[in-house]
Structure 1
Amino acid sequence: MWYRNSKSLTSLVAGLVLTLLLPLQALAEEQMPDPAQMVEETANEIIAALQERRESMKDDPEALYAFVEDLLLPVFDVPYSTRLVLGRHGRDASPEQRRAFGEAFYRFLVRSYADGMVEYTPNDLEIRVQPVRGELNPDRTRVRTQIVRPGGSNIPVDYTLRYRDGEWRVFDVTIEGVSYVTNYRNSFDSEIRQRGLDAVIERLEERASRKADELEESLEGQSEDGE
């Protein structure tokens, strides 16, 4: 009786393991697209779209935000990235706090990217994408690129992606060796421990609003200079 129960238990465990491994096996057998090619195609699309819509966005911050969101949402794994940034504090947070933090952090990112985008013209942007070395890891694959600056040193920018639901999504960006996930996680970790998560969420919302005001002033200044 003990032997039969033990054998049944072994079969059950083996079955569970196989069940858990089946999605990974299917993922391995699936032909994953080239993430470097995806990054390059997306970068070219962004540059072309920026060149086409730049004039119409000069006096319209909301149009610029919508443009950035159109770029971020399809290729950026915002929920996963936010979870990494929140780190261990996410385990102690309520669902409402996690949602509020994610929304505030996303608004801050959109406004930060929009603010940075104002500084560049499409002619300033040339991105060189390097092929991925080694086997693709569906959980973590890095694509290395360089932003070429005329008359200046190139800027290394690495994108870390994971493969889910048939597509690659970026969850971290490393600029000149500095990971944005690690940078924000370290910054928020000390602040959450000192002030609490709700205070950090409130500060993020304030920073996002301040970014919006700064962007509006910058666009108004550019419009006046062009007159």
Structure 2
Amino acid sequence: MKNWWMACAMWLVSGVALAGMAPDQLVKKTADDVIEVIKSDKDIQAGNQQKIFALAEEKILPNFDFDKVSRLVLGKNWTKATPEQQAAFQAEFKTLLLRTYATALSKYKNQTIDYKPFRMEAGADTATVKTAIQQPGGEPISVDYTLGKKGEDWKVFDIVIESVSLVTNYRSQFAQEIRQNGLDSLNKKLAEKNKAATGK
């Protein structure tokens, strides 16, 4: 899993919401913008965690369907949760993802992205964009982005890296904790980890 969040972070932090773009165009434009920002920002290259986290927090959401991801990750536990529990989970899960993206961003070292041929049926409301991250001196990392139509725009709701799904990975981790100790316990543990990592 060491390459997981590098792949996520290279794509998900974007300069603007890219309204109206086709899924493959959105992925490519966003990735190009992210790499350009990293290459031009000396503080990010030097590992300035505050600046990296602020960048991720500001730019991640425009092209990411966070509500859908939260529901998918909790699965049946989402429908069983109270509105307060749902809100608490979303807040802590969002912080968990943001700080993990920020850590990954600081590890960027001249990786490049290859885009596979893209096909989508007319009228489809989901799409998969397949890519590979090329690493200097290392094996390519396969990365598939799953997007869904939300209004007139496309939003990412899952990322599959080397055949491992972001949604499935977290669903498995969280389901075990909920099964043993309940959703309130999961929310508390996420909050504690986030506080320890961010100092807030």
What TM-score comes out, normalization by structure 1 length?
Answer: 0.73
- C-alpha deviations, 1:170-196, integer Å up to 9, x for none? 010111000010111111111101111
Cα distance in 1 between the residues matched to 2:34 and 2:64? 14
1:143 is matched with which residue: 126, 129, 139? 129
Change over 3 Å in CA distance of 1:139–1:208 after alignment to 2: farther
Note the C-alpha offset of 1:131: 2.8
Q: What is the percentage of aligned positions where both structures have the same residue?
A: 38
Q: Which residue of 2 aligns with 1:129?
A: 115
Note the C-alpha offset of 1:45: 0.3
Q: Say if 1:161 and 1:170, in contact at 8 Å, map to a contact too.
A: yes
Q: Say if 2:120 and 2:127, in contact at 8 Å, map to a contact too.
A: no
Q: Say if 2:133 and 2:143, in contact at 8 Å, map to a contact too.
A: yes
Q: Which residue of 1 aligns with 2:16?
A: none
Aligned residue-pair number: 180
Q: Say if 1:39 and 1:129, in contact at 8 Å, map to a contact too.
A: no
More helix as a share of residues: 1
Note the C-alpha offset of 1:72: 1.2
Q: Which residue of 2 aligns with 1:49?
A: 37
Instruction: Give the SS at the match of 2:136.
Output: coil
Change over 3 Å in CA distance of 1:153–1:166 after alignment to 2: same
Q: Which residue of 1 aligns with 2:142?
A: 156
Q: Which residue of 1 aligns with 2:93?
A: 105
2:52 is matched with which residue: 53, 59, 64? 64
Instruction: Give the SS at the match of 1:90.
Output: helix
Paired letter, 2:157: F
Q: Say if 1:83 and 1:90, in contact at 8 Å, map to a contact too.
A: yes
Change over 3 Å in CA distance of 1:211–1:116 after alignment to 2: farther
Change over 3 Å in CA distance of 1:166–1:134 after alignment to 2: closer
2:172 is matched with which residue: 183, 186, 195? 186
Q: Which residue of 2 aligns with 1:36?
A: 24
After the TM superposition, which residues 3-22 of structure 1 pair with which residues of structure 2 at under 5 Å, given as runs?
none
Instruction: Structure 2: give runs of 5+ residues left out of the alignment.
Output: 1-19
Cα distance in 1 between the residues matched to 2:47 and 2:150? 37
Note the C-alpha offset of 1:134: 3.8
Paired letter, 1:42: T
1:167 is matched with which residue: 153, 157, 164? 153
Cα distance in 2 between the residues matched to 1:168 and 1:78? 13
Change over 3 Å in CA distance of 1:209–1:166 after alignment to 2: same
Q: Which residue of 2 aligns with 1:203?
A: 189
Q: Say if 2:49 and 2:103, in contact at 8 Å, map to a contact too.
A: no
CA RMSD of superposed structures (Å): 1.9
Cα distance in 2 between the residues matched to 1:39 and 1:143? 7
Paired letter, 2:114: R
